[in-house]
A and B are shown apart, each in its own frame.
Chain A
């Protein structure tokens, strides 16, 4: 199957700093990518839909000014957690798929810990 990478795989930061997470589709082009958040032993919660060349679409209850998404190319989407706080600590996962396909390929996730 297609490969999606995420970088970094884990990050620890101080409260108040910003952290950028990259999501790349390595062998396919993704006009749309999705960002999820997963709490320990819980399901994935969709945060936003990242659209190449346009603004992201955020799910209800997700602060767009806190979780900045940029999808500058067909193979790269970034999620920036701004002014991070301990409650933002979580596992962030992205996914992408080919155009017109509802099959998604998931990145390995990024563990964010905010001290």
Chain B
């Protein structure tokens, strides 16, 4: 079946440090891949997405590249801020499923300290 595996958190960083959150997936076909972010006390928000191999999604300084050969979609940011403290979820959607049906990874909590 389909699955999404993320690195476990919490990840604690100092401000301006480099952030990487690993995400790998297992799926048949060609899924779309997403990163969602959940700030404390808020709902999930789409951070970025990629719909086919070698696509790079980017938003707010975050980037992730759809790597089909390694079935990965790692999230990176070059210089984090305290405001980036949140829980980050990697997710996939298969075209053969209902539109919008998402399979989530476990989530990775990121804590950025001043």
Contacts and interface: CB of A to CB of B under 8 A. Distances in A.
Given A41-B109, A43-B89, A102 B99 contact: yes
B100 A102 contact: yes
Chain B: interface size category: 20 to 34
A93 B100 contact: no
B46 A1 contact: yes
Interface string B42-72: 1111100100000000000000000000000
A109 B101 contact: no
A101 B42 contact: no
Given A32-B98, A97-B99, A102-B100, A43 B105 contact: yes
B47 to A, nearest CB: 11
Interface string A55-73: 0010000000000000000
Interface string A1-33: 100100000000000000000000000000010
Interface of B: 32, 36, 42-46, 49, 89, 93, 95, 98-107, 109
Given A43-B105, A44-B102, A108-B43, 5 more contacts: A1-B45, A32-B99, A49-B98, A106-B36, A108-B42
Interface of A: 1, 4, 32, 34, 41-44, 46, 49, 57, 93, 95-97, 99-109
